[in-house]
A and B are shown apart, each in its own frame.
Chain A
């Protein structure tokens, strides 16, 4: 009974994480992160991802304030925020967020406020979407562990 439940959950987990890669939410760097997690640091990925989402929230808020005043936009500050966001999204394997940051940076370089506002909205959407999906993934992990199973290794290369 327990074995069947574990197998079902593991299958569910595998299918879900594969779909996140296939839909472009995650890239190979997320696999690198998962390699750093072991029995000694069972919550490493969840911790780092949580830090990432905190950063996203703060940076997006800061950039939003900078872009509010149409006549006096501090593009240097916005660019700095995009730089940080791009770096951390690369490090966590948040592919869609990173891709928006690339477009965002281009808008900053040419001081295109309208473009920046669109990118800001898009990156806000993308990080929140990813946050929801990763929370679902971590919940599946917990269910597997509670049922006495192990988290399957899924590598996409």
Chain B
């Protein structure tokens, strides 16, 4: 069938800073992802095939349909928030408004901790909001989101002949509940009360909690020292 043997995920990384693109690219490679980097929201939309100068995409077409011009499967989009022209939020909206691409998980990065902005992005459908500098431990949280996309695409390949979509649009509050034989170790940041326990290892949690993401984003104690082990590849 269409089941792919390779388990590598493909991430589209969007950042206007060459410096930060290098960083995020290396982080993702270290997490065993395949990475495509672009320097603006416009380029990201071009890559996805959402923004064509000549053709207009059929909003009801499948992501695999030739009319979308998508050559490469994208399992995740990670974008900076603050970019000239189209912001990360604008890009997020465009993706979520597209019936062909709304299922691609989107993650926002920012160097500024602005709670209202974080809330707005999560409400619009972002899966996570990371404060820069992004760390390897942050990226561990992304694996369930990418896995969800991967499995969905595999299902779509199997039922490519039918146009019916069984699953509804995932809401912003939905938690990923994928149970897989692959051992996914998800690390979360220590809680505020663990500040004094610098040596303590990070806790593992099987389910990503969006409320937790908001809490982490709101934390003003970003500068506290953290001990992060290198992410172990499965």
Q: Which residues of A contact B (CB under 8 A)?
A: 28-29, 32-33, 35-36, 41, 44, 47-48, 51-52, 55, 83-84, 86-88, 90-92, 157
Contacts and interface: CB of A to CB of B under 8 A. Distances in A.
Give the most central of A36, A83, A86: most B CB within 10 Å: A36
Contact of A36 (B30, B82, B225, B226): B30
A52 B19 CA distance: 7
A90 B133 contact: yes
Nearest to B110: A87
A29 B133 contact: yes
Contacts of B23: 33, 36, 48, 91
Given A35-B230, A36-B27, A157-B198, A90 B132 contact: yes
A87 B17 contact: yes
Contacts of A48: 19, 22-23, 26
Contacts of A157: 198, 225-227
Give the most central of B23, B135, B225, B228: most A CB within 10 Å: B23
A24 B20 CA distance: 23
Contacts of B218: none
Given A32-B136, A35-B230, A157-B226, 5 more contacts: A32-B135, A36-B23, A36-B136, A48-B23, A91-B19
Given A28-B225, A28-B226, A91-B132, A84 B26 contact: no
Interface of B: 17-20, 22-23, 26-27, 30, 82, 111, 132-133, 135-136, 198, 225-228, 230
A90 B30 CA distance: 20
A82 to B, nearest CB: 12
Nearest to A88: B19
A119 B63 CA distance: 51
A47 B22 CA distance: 9
A87 B113 CA distance: 12
Contacts of B22: 47-48, 51
Contacts of B135: 32
A91 B22 CA distance: 11
Contact of B26 (A29, A41, A86, A87): A41
A36 B135 CA distance: 10
Contact of B111 (A36, A51, A86): A86
Closest 5 pairs between A and B when the two form their complex, measured CB to CB: A87-B111, A91-B133, A51-B19, A36-B26, A88-B19
Nearest to B134: A91
B76 to A, nearest CB: 19
Nearest to A41: B26
27 contacts: A28-B226, A29-B133, A32-B133, A32-B135, A36-B27, A36-B30, A36-B136, A41-B26, A44-B26, A48-B19, A48-B22, A48-B23, A55-B19, A87-B17, A87-B111, A87-B132, A88-B20, A90-B111, A90-B132, A90-B133, A91-B23, A91-B133, A92-B19, A157-B198, A157-B225, A157-B226, A157-B227
B18 to A, nearest CB: 6
A146 B136 CA distance: 30
B33 to A, nearest CB: 13
Nearest to A93: B133
A91 B20 contact: yes
Contact of A88 (B17, B82, B136, B230): B17
Nearest to A47: B22
Nearest to B30: A36
Contacts of A83: 82, 111
A87 to B, nearest CB: 4
Nearest to A38: B30
Contacts of A35: 30, 136, 230
Contact of A84 (B17, B27, B30, B228): B17
